[in-house]
Chains A and B, each alone.
Chain A
Amino acid sequence: MVLGINRRNALIARRNPPEAVRLVRDKLRTKTQLRSHAVPVPPTLATISHVDDARDLDWDGLGEGWVMKPCASSQGRGVMVVVGRRGGSWALAGGQVVGLRRLIAHAEAIVDGDHSGGRPDRAIIEPLLVPHPEILALAPVGLPDIRVICLDERPLLAMMRLPTRTSGGRGNLHQGGIGAAVDLRTGRVTRAVHAGREITDHPDTQAAIVGSVVPEWSAVLDAARRAGVTCGLGYSGSDVVVDASLGAVVLEVNAHPGLEIQNVCGVSLFDLISGMSRRRTRM
């Protein structure tokens, strides 16, 4: 039987306490919690809590590449990716070049809650992560990540999300990203799905996705299995990035992970969870 949204929500209501759900909705609190338990996360360059913070920030001192994102947004909303400097301006991932006023306006919009359903928010600035060369060879655009679904500390399913040109550099499957099922034991990609169709190669680069192995797989799995429980979640979906210099880092922990991973992996989460419960009962 497939795990649908209704049954997943019931599972979440049972396994994820409200305070843990609130925690993971706040990326900054999540990072603090994970870091205090030695779960690897990207460093934080700056946080902006008030409009004044945005004006007082030393934007020149942030370095060449960095990412500004809302603390409480989802699905990549409100994320600004700076890839370098162009004179006194900043070059964005989409090719635009913007000035200081635009950066401050974006930070203010985040603080005003423009990307968080109108609720006041904070902006986090992190260094731009660079994918591990082996992943970069598969998808040269955007930032691929690995979503691992866990029940307590036990990983159930994993998929790598690879951005494409049509997805605008985003890994989200509904926006045109590729979902690649990853074997939990070996880290090898066993199956890949793009726009509802099974594929073997990346449509932009023709690089073979199926058969490739996620680098530093044991570190990815270890980070993911610890991230959910560290945040107090019984059922979680952790997003892990393998950075070229930092290695495996947890980018986000989700209390309501999506269900499309079942289609990508060709496996029902409901069956996996019921199988575990039956085994536990027998023991």
Chain B
Amino acid sequence: MSSEPALAHTSLETAHLLAALPLGAALTVAARTVLGARTIGVFAPALLGLVLVDLGLRAGMVVILVAALGGLAALPIVVRLALPRVARLGLLLSAICAALEVSGLADDQRAAMPVVVMTVLVERGWDVASGDGWRASTTLIGSTVLLAVVIASLLLTPPVEALLSAGGLRPVVVGGLLVALAGSYRGLRVGEHRRFASLRNSEIAQVA
């Protein structure tokens, strides 16, 4: 008797995931240029978003969480070994694979999708923590995963699903146009309104 895959299937077919990538990229660009979201890796949120779309939000989050915990658990040993970066990444990747295997999630091959992204995420998180502290690192990892959830949620809305299911070049062109549009925004990012509040207030006072 074959074992049932632990992960559920979603309505978006795997064949349409490639077409969803430019849309995910557009959302990442918009989150950066308009909101000022700081994330690890330019397209890590888009790739993780696709993982969540493919596995389903709940199952996808379980895989991401288990992968993150596996990587974080191995981190103290990996750091103590003082290995070159490539070896450090290799060990973290092994730890993440082991965590997915032990938790029974590796029965479904789709669980392998986020392994590389999560390896980079954990390693980069450690790098940021060693320079700016764990608070900065947690915020960065948290915003990366949060953006991935937002991307997945938007990709699973009926209009976007319909666009992706139509296939062809249309979703890719739409994604490309949205990237160009979001990339040409020149105004202040949402976070900058607060960052420069005192300067802006003094300018307003001068004008008044």
Task: Output the least CB separation between B135 and chain A (Å).
Answer: 12
Which single member of A2, A6, A267 contacts B185 (CB below 8 Å)?
A6
Q: Which residue of B lies closest to A170 (CB)?
A: B131
Cβ of B192: which chain A residues have Cβ within 8 Å of it? Answer: 2, 4-5
Taken together as a complex, chains A and B put the C-alpha atoms of A1 and B195 apart, in Å, by: 13
Q: A2 to B84, Cβ gap below 8 A?
A: no
The answer, yes or no, to whether A61 is at the interface (CB within 8 Å) is no
The answer, yes or no, to whether A49 is at the interface (CB within 8 Å) is no
Taken together as a complex, chains A and B put the C-alpha atoms of A2 and B36 apart, in Å, by: 15
The segment from B17-25, B95-103, B168-176, B196-204 found at the interface with A is: B196-204
The answer, yes or no, to whether A108 is at the interface (CB within 8 Å) is yes
Known contacts A109-B84, A113-B85, A114-B85; decide if A2 and B189 are in contact (CB<8 Å). no
Q: Which residue of B lies closest to A175 (CB)?
A: B132
Task: Output the least CB separation between A186 and chain B (Å).
Answer: 22
Cβ of A190: which chain B residues have Cβ within 8 Å of it? Answer: none
Interface class of chain B by DSSP: helix
The answer, yes or no, to whether B39 is at the interface (CB within 8 Å) is no
Chain A interface residue count, CB cutoff 8 Å, equals: 25
Task: Output the least CB separation between A123 and chain B (Å).
Answer: 14
Q: A263 to B196, Cβ gap below 8 A?
A: yes
Q: Which residue of A lies closest to B136 (CB)?
A: A174
The answer, yes or no, to whether B186 is at the interface (CB within 8 Å) is yes
Cβ of B181: which chain A residues have Cβ within 8 Å of it? Answer: none
Which single member of A2, A118, A174 contacts B196 (CB below 8 Å)?
A2
Taken together as a complex, chains A and B put the C-alpha atoms of A262 and B195 apart, in Å, by: 10
Interface size class of B (residues with CB under 8 A): 20 to 34
| CB under 8 Å from chain B, chain A span 105-135 | 105, 108-109, 112-114, 118
Cβ of B85: which chain A residues have Cβ within 8 Å of it? Answer: 109, 112-114, 118
Known contacts A77-B131, A112-B85; decide if A2 and B187 are in contact (CB<8 Å). no
Task: Output the least CB separation between B143 and chain A (Å).
Answer: 16
Cβ of A6: which chain B residues have Cβ within 8 Å of it? Answer: 33, 185-189
The answer, yes or no, to whether B82 is at the interface (CB within 8 Å) is yes
Cβ of B195: which chain A residues have Cβ within 8 Å of it? Answer: 263
Cβ of A109: which chain B residues have Cβ within 8 Å of it? Answer: 82, 84-85
Q: B186 to A262, Cβ gap below 8 A?
A: no
Taken together as a complex, chains A and B put the C-alpha atoms of A7 and B187 apart, in Å, by: 7
B77-89 near A? 1/0 per residue, CB < 8 Å: 0000010111000
The answer, yes or no, to whether A268 is at the interface (CB within 8 Å) is yes
Taken together as a complex, chains A and B put the C-alpha atoms of A195 and B42 apart, in Å, by: 29
Known contacts A2-B188, A5-B36, A6-B187; decide if A266 and B84 are in contact (CB<8 Å). no
Q: A263 to B36, Cβ gap below 8 A?
A: no
Task: Output the least CB separation between A10 and chain B (Å).
Answer: 6
Q: B131 to A263, Cβ gap below 8 A?
A: no
Taken together as a complex, chains A and B put the C-alpha atoms of A77 and B126 apart, in Å, by: 13
| CB under 8 Å from chain A, chain B span 120-145 | 131-132
Cβ of A268: which chain B residues have Cβ within 8 Å of it? Answer: 199, 203
For A5, A77, A113, which residue has the most chain B Cβ atoms within 10 angstroms?
A5
The answer, yes or no, to whether A75 is at the interface (CB within 8 Å) is yes
Task: Output the least CB separation between B180 and chain A (Å).
Answer: 14
Task: Output the least CB separation between A100 and chain B (Å).
Answer: 15
Give 5 CB contacts A-B under 8 Å: A4-B186, A4-B189, A113-B85, A268-B199, A268-B203
8 more A-B residue pairs beyond the given contacts A2-B192, A5-B189, with a C-beta to C-beta distance below 8 A: A2-B188, A4-B188, A6-B188, A6-B189, A7-B186, A109-B85, A266-B198, A266-B199
User: Which 9 pairs of residues, A with B, have the shortest CB-CB distance?
Assistant: A4-B188, A2-B196, A112-B84, A4-B192, A6-B186, A114-B85, A7-B186, A112-B85, A118-B85
